[in-house]
Structure 1
């Protein structure tokens, strides 16, 4: 994606842009919808891995330009998949393939992942087949997964109300239906971009009373919106 530095919020160039050549800024923008099935953490992790690899490759091909990614990860903020995005690495065998997305045992606002010592003690419980490791990591011999993007959550970068955010700063809920309520949708960005403002989600009591989808909101997911600025000059993206 290309943007003019003097592009206005309406998308129309300013008067000056008619007489000068605007400097263009490039971005990589990607969107993903990860598999829902909580039991197939191998596939979910593999989808996220490939997505991040391709975003990084495009960024490098265009001169290490900033990256914005978003979508439905079907993974909670307490999950190992969320940890993989934020920490840029993950020890696969420390996690149960059937709950690597956190959907089965972690309702909203539950405590974080267990400590590393506890995870090491429990690691003997978790067995991944060669096929599952190939799907998750791309190689059955690879159990330490890494990606090359340093990612920041856009919503964490803009403080919000405790009525609408969890202890990290993510929305309390981006999806709600008869069997689930929690956060599975995110916007992430790399260094070089700064979140300026975000669209807040709905309070939990409104979601429970209105239900999703309904006549006003046609999806069981809420929209996430973020305005970002280039770190060097304040131009918005």
Structure 2
């Protein structure tokens, strides 16, 4: 079964209007919501039909934007949906109102009204992490929350004998190969003493005489998440209350995730960018996925090969910063947001169910 994933920060209109200094290079007509909305819908419909089922989570607090995940109900059945709120009133660290969505789907192949085949579960997570370049500690804690939920979903599927494929996408407000990206793609990050601004790499503050550095523990035990980015068990909660638990200098996760994009344009060698406004151009948006792996088991009679994960068939090319500036930057009369859409096509092995 082939399916397509689009990840798109469409630029909330009230945020555009609240930060107009970022768009002084744009003609006023391309900033108009009616104009932008029609272009956004046209771009989305090019990928598929209008027949989507949508899950939406508005940001907590006073902001009106949020995250939405939309899927074709003719191709996927919804098993569960978990809206995530990163704001925690009990901890000063998580005082920001970002959100996410974790959606568990089952791929289905139908002929008419009859279900012909069902695939292994597919977990699609969508988020928009904090922007503030100086608060890498907050970004890591927010990321840990969504990784812990993904880990929980994978475990529950494994308990039923099912392999769960993962897609994690959104605006992570972090550039490629910096510590936050490294944690996602390698499953490990040694953070002790790292400057907080370095976590995302959005801004170089090394010239300052004092910078905030990260030390263990990164977040308080009341968050209920370990340094393995997993929800704490009853035993771990008990140890935490008796102060026997230790938060190491390295945070880890056990999810196998890889980026669809390689962040360098083939041929030219120029850097890809996913966002551009008057202050900067950078890659901050991603589609991460569990790549296809071949496992084998052997006994005295035979060797069995098992294919798990998603096969990446292709992706829509991104553009370089100089090309976008030649089009008068973003948004413009072709691209209606200050972010480009990311698009990837995957193949799923239904036999792996």
The TM-score by the shorter chain falls in which range?
Answer: 0.7 to 0.9
Distance across 1 between alignment mates of 2:174 and 2:264: 22
TM, length-normalised to structure 1: 0.73
Partner of 2:116: 22
| SS of equivalent residue, structure 2 residue 192 | helix
Show the 5 A alignment for 1:57-206. Answer: 57-62=152-157, 63-105=162-204, 127-128=213-214, 132-134=218-220, 141-156=247-262, 161-163=266-268, 166=271, 172-191=272-291, 192-206=309-323
Give 1:129 shift: 5.9
Give 5+ residue unaligned stretches, structure 1.
7-12, 107-124, 167-171
Could you report, residue by residue, the CA deviation over 1:133-180 in whole angstroms, capped at 9, with x for unpaired residues? Answer: 439976783321011101111124x996233764xxxxx100001111
SS at match of 1:23: strand
1:41 aligns with one of 112, 118, 136: 136
> Structure 1 or 2: larger strand share?
2
CA–CA distance in 1 between the matches of 2:202 and 2:283?
A: 10
Does residue 31 (structure 1) correspond to residue 126 (structure 2)? The answer is yes
Runs of 4+ in 1 over 2 A off after TM superposition: 17-21, 125-143, 158-166, 202-206, 231-234
In 2, distance between residues paired with 1:128 and 1:189?
A: 28
1:23 Cα shift?
1.8
- Tell me the TM-score normalized by structure 2: 0.50
**1:107-133: CA deviation from partner (whole Å, max 9, x where unpaired):** xxxxxxxxxxxxxxxxxx974366754
| Counterpart in the other structure of 2:333 | 215
Q: SS at 1:215's partner residue?
A: coil
In the alignment, structure 2 segments of 5+ residues that lack a partner are 1-104, 206-210, 228-245, 292-308
CA distance in 1, matches of 2:114, 2:219: 54
